[in-house]
Amino acid sequence: MDEKILMVDDNENALKAFQRSLRKDFTIEVAKSAGEAMQRIKTEGPYAVVVSDMKMPGANGVELLALVKSMSPNTVRIMLTGDAEQQTAVDAIDKGGAMVVLKKPCPVSKLKNSILEGLQVYRHNVINDTAI
């Protein structure tokens, strides 16, 4: 099973840093906007896990995760945010179906563990989806 991870952030330096740090363990693809992410999901999906920044031009992370949830329900969604507002986390979970909301700056080890957990959930989702 090809388990690709899509990381979405308008900060190209952050994307490159995460990609460098995680590429030994995962197949990482990147998108710089919600629109680019949706296009990738349509043409190159499914993705096992989508990790999205909250604040991006166009659509924010909650809106993106909600779209991912409707287009690819088995995909596990993770939100990264520098926003200290509790409402952001609540919205990411309630509206976007985020498995977890991680605070920026996020240690790579914490993100890696969240992605590993997300992969387990994804495998479970896919097995149950195909078993029906």
Tens-digit pLDDT profile for residues 25-59:
999 999 999 999 999 999 999 999 999 999 988 88
Would you state the pLDDT for residue 64?
Answer: 96
Q: Is 74 within 8 Å of 125 (Cβ atoms)?
A: yes
Burial of 127 (0-12, 13-18, 19+ CB in 10 A): exposed
Would you state the pLDDT for residue 88?
Answer: 83
Q: Which domain holds residue 62?
A: 4-131
Tens-digit pLDDT profile for residues 62-82:
999 999 999 999 999 999 998
What CATH number has the domain bearing residue 99?
A: 3.40.50.2300
Specify the number of domains making up the chain. Answer: 1
